[in-house]
Amino acid sequence: MDPKDSILIKERILKSVSKAWTLFLDLIFPIECLGCGREGVWLCESCRKTLRMNRRQYCLDCRKGSRSGRFCRHCRPGHHLDGLWIVGDYEQKLLAELIKKFKYDFIRDLGEPLGGFLLRFLRGRLFDSLKEGGGTEILRTFQETLIIPVPLHRRRFNWRGFNQAEVLARTVGGYFRLEMEVASLERTRYRRPQAKLGGRRRRENVRNCFAWRGEDLGGRNVILIDDVVTTGATLDEAARVLKENGAGEVWGLVAAKG
Residue 83, strand partner residues: 70, 251
How many of the other CB atoms lie within 10 Å of CB of 147? 22
Q: How far apart are CA 240 and CA 238, in angstroms?
A: 5
Q: How far apart are CA 184 and CA 188, in angstroms?
A: 11
Measured CA angle at 250 (ends 206, 239), to 5 deg:
20
pLDDT tens-place string over residues 92-142: 999 999 999 999 988 999 999 999 999 999 999 998 887 776 668 899 999
Q: CATH number of 52-257: 1.10.10, 2.60.40, 3.30.1490, 3.40.50?
A: 3.40.50
Q: Is the pLDDT of residue 15 over 60?
A: no
Q: How far is CA 147 from CA 36, 42, 197, in A?
A: 33, 26, 28
Residue 146, strand partner residues: 222
Contact 205, 193 (CB under 8 A): no
Instruction: Decide which of 175 and 199 is more confident.
Output: 175
Q: Is the pLDDT of residue 194 over 70?
A: no
Rounded to an integer, the average pLDDT of 57-69 is 89
- So where are the chain's domains? 52-257
